[in-house]
Each structure stands twice: as structure tokens, then as C-alpha cells.
Amino acid sequence: MSVCSLRHSTLIAMEDIEASQWDALVGRDQPFLRHAFLHALEASGSVSHDTGWEPCHACVWQGSQLVGALPMYRKHHSYGEYVFDWGWAEAFERAGGAYYPKLLSAVPFTPVPGVRTLIADQCPHSAVRTELAAAWQASDQASLSSWHLLFANERDVDAWQAQFPELIAREGVQFQWQDAGFGSFDGFLASLTSKRRKMIKRERRLVADQGVSIKRLEGHDITQGALAHFYRCYSMTYFERGRSPYLNQDFFERLRNTMPEALMLVQAQLGGVPVASALYFRGDQSLYGRYWGSEVVADCLHFEACYYQGIEYCLEKGLTLFDPGTQGEHKLVRGFAPQRVRSLHYMAHPGLAAGVAQFCQEEGAHIKAYREAAQQALPFKSSVAR
């Protein structure tokens, strides 16, 4: 392919591109970059100018064929990102700069590590990245302070940094469960130390002793009523903190209609009546726990619905990785290992770039030490590979 034949453009709405063109670049294991998911965010109004997320996706073309893409948004705040840069914004603005708007490449409200840069296999990847970079570098002329690539996988981060050394890497930690040939949930329990094995058994037994039963619904079995109940529970987690949900009910209803095969709903019931819900997404090899809420206070129900049901589902379906969501050292003692996650940051102002680079270097040393300590605290027997 001739490099000269490539050109870049900006896509201001997912509806302006055919789903088949976009999805041809998306792998099968992560549903969050699919056209249906990103379009549902926009069509539902969850992502829009009014919510501070203006779509401006970078695209690379060869003729009429899409050969590269990068989800991108013009941001007027830092909510819903989970890589916190409020301090950077405050420091820059104290110095007289304007941090917002900024440019962000991420999946809105979805801190799931994975590929972010979509490139056709037959294309020279460096040439496509050059075109994608031209799209966000042109934003300097539009008074945008910076570009941020969030929750990209290791290969993606390494490729961008190798080609553009001025990009600043920032490290973080998430906790993920991986199948080590456990075979079943009992096999997973057998791999744990006696203390943690007894703890998990006790927690699962306690849920049942409170009269709570668990039901799983997949795909088309997730009824409109079940989804409406889930949304009520999901919203409560925000209302309890005095905030409105990031995502509206229309978003989830669109996903139920357009990509049901990627959805799995865990429903907790009391006397046959649903009282709590957790919504998962699945790919070919991975499971992603995303949203949860409960109308009742029940001991250990969150652990059952959001962790143990996910592990059990993976083992039953042959999925090898379970990402239960961000934060939470309480995941560590339940078999979720610390994983390095990275983001990349380009700062147009040299002074801001220098300050951010120093901050990320110092923070990174602490993150590395924490990750190594967390690895040693995993609850597996010494004979089990960590």
C-alpha cells in the first residue's frame, strides 16, 4: 500500500460511517469499540456537547476504505475518564493557561484496558499512526491544550511512544482475574490458601442464608423489564452520592437491541422478586464487569454478584480473563491480580509538558512499588502460578 494514498478526516458522529466499515477494524474480544456501543452513547445523548463529550473521531482512509480509526472526543471537563488530571488542569490555569477544552481518545465512562488504535492488518501501522497523529496535532490550532490516550493496551502504548517520543506515559493499576487452568469454581477455590478459600465460601453461603437467589440472563433473555430494573439499581448508586448517572436508560436499551450477544445480566432476587443487578459485557475470551446497583442492603451481595458470578461464568464459558472494573484492593484477596495500565499524554505547552512528565515519573515509581507489593499479597498457594 502506498503511504501517499492515505488521508485523515474527522468524524463528528458515529452515524455518519457504516458500521461494517468501522467494525472491520475492531477485534472480537472487546465490545466497547464496536460501532453499536459508541453509536449508542451518542444517539442516547449520554455523549454529546451538552454532557461535555463532543465526538471528533480520527479516521484514516485509502480511497473510500476506512483503514485506521481512533475514538476521540473534545472534552470540557475530566469527568468519566478514570485517569485523573484535575491537578494538571488546576496548575495550568493558575499559571494563566486554559486546560479545557482538551482532546481525549478513550471509550467514555469505560476504564477497560485494550486496543484503542484501530488499524487494518494490511496497512503499514506507522503510516496510519502518522495520519491519526496529524488529526490530533491539528487540534493545536483550535486552542486545545492536550491530547490523552487512555487505557490503551501495552502494545498500543509502546507503538505510539516509539513513534512519538514526546508522549508522556502515566502508569496505573487495575485488578484482573485470569484462568490458570482451574476447570471449575471449586478448582479455583482449591488454588487458594485455606484462609481465603474459607472466606469466599462463607461469603457465598451468607448470601444464600439471607434468602437471596442468583439468576443469570444472557442476550435476548434480558427482557425490557429486567433491563429497566437494572437501570433503577444502577441509578441508585449515583443518587446515593448526590449525582446523576453518566448513562441514561436509552443507552442500555439500544445495546439490548443492537448487541445483545455481548450482554450478561446477573440478577439477585428475594422471594422471586429482583432486588439487585450487575451488567456484564463479554468478548470471545474475556468478561467485563461494568455496572451494578442494589435496592437492598445484603451482606456480601456485591461480592457475589460482581465477582464470584463473573469468575464462575468465565469458567463455565471458557473465558480466560475477567476484568471486574476499576479500583478496589478488596479484589486482591479474591484472586484478582494487579495489572499495569498506562495512558499517554501530549501537552502542547512546553512548561506544562515538563511538569506533567516529572509528576508521572515520580508517581510511576510509587505505582510500581505498590503493584509489586500487591502481587506478593495474592491469596494463591505458592504452587499456583501468579
- Residue 291, pLDDT score: 94
In the predicted structure, residue 142 carries a pLDDT above the cut 70: no
User: Of the given ranges (223-227, 277-281, 294-298, 379-383), which has the lowest mean pLDDT?
Assistant: 379-383
Spell out the SS3 assignment of the chain. Answer: CCHHHEEEEEECCHHHCCHHHHHCCCCCCCHHHCHHHHHHHHHCCCCCCCCCEEECEEEEEECCEEEEEECCEEECCCCCCCCCCHHHHHHHHHCCCCCCCEEEECCCCCCCCECCCEECCCCCHHHHHHHHHHHHHHHHHHCCCEEEEEEECHHHHHHHHHHCCCCEEEEEEEEEEECCCCCCHHHHHHCECHHHHHHHHHHHHHHHHCCEEEEEEEHHHCCHHHHHHHHHHHHHHHHCCCCCCCCCHHHHHHHHHHCHHHEEEEEEEECCEEEEEEEEEECCCEEEEEEEEECCCCCCHHHHHHHHHHHHHHHHHCCCEEECCCCCHHHHHHCCEEEEEEEEEEECCHHHHHHHHHHHHHHHHHHHHHHHHHHHCCCECCCCCC
Architecture of domain 180-319: 3-Layer(aba) Sandwich (3.40)
Going by C-beta distance under 8 Å and a sequence separation of 6 or more, which residues neighbour residue 20?
A: none
- Residue 335, pLDDT score: 96
In the predicted structure, residue 326 carries a pLDDT above the cut 90: no
- Residue 1, pLDDT score: 44
Nearest by Cα to 59 from 28, 32, 25: 25
In the predicted structure, residue 120 carries a pLDDT above the cut 80: yes
Angle at 213 between CA 211 and CA 219, to 5 degrees: 160
Q: 3 falls in which pLDDT band (50, 70, 90)?
A: low
Within 10 Å of residue 293's Cβ, how many Cβ atoms? 23
CATH of 3-172+339-376, one of 3.40.630.30, 3.40.50.970, 2.60.120.330, 3.40.50.1010: 3.40.630.30
- Residue 163, pLDDT score: 96
In the predicted structure, residue 385 carries a pLDDT above the cut 80: no
End-to-end CA, the chain:
43
Q: What's the whole-number mean pLDDT along residues 229-255?
A: 95
The three cell numbers of residue 306 are 460482581
Q: What is this structure's pTM?
A: 0.95
- Residue 28, pLDDT score: 84
- Residue 328, pLDDT score: 74
User: What are the boundaries of each domain within the chain?
Assistant: 3-172+339-376, 180-319
Q: What confidence tens digit (pLDDT) does each residue in 178-205 have?
A: 999 999 999 999 999 999 999 999 999 9
- Residue 140, pLDDT score: 59
In the predicted structure, residue 386 carries a pLDDT above the cut 90: no
Report percent pLDDT > 70 for the chain. 97
- Residue 192, pLDDT score: 97
Q: What's the whole-number mean pLDDT along residues 46-56?
A: 96
Instruction: Establish whether domains 3-172+339-376 and 180-319 are of one fold.
Output: yes
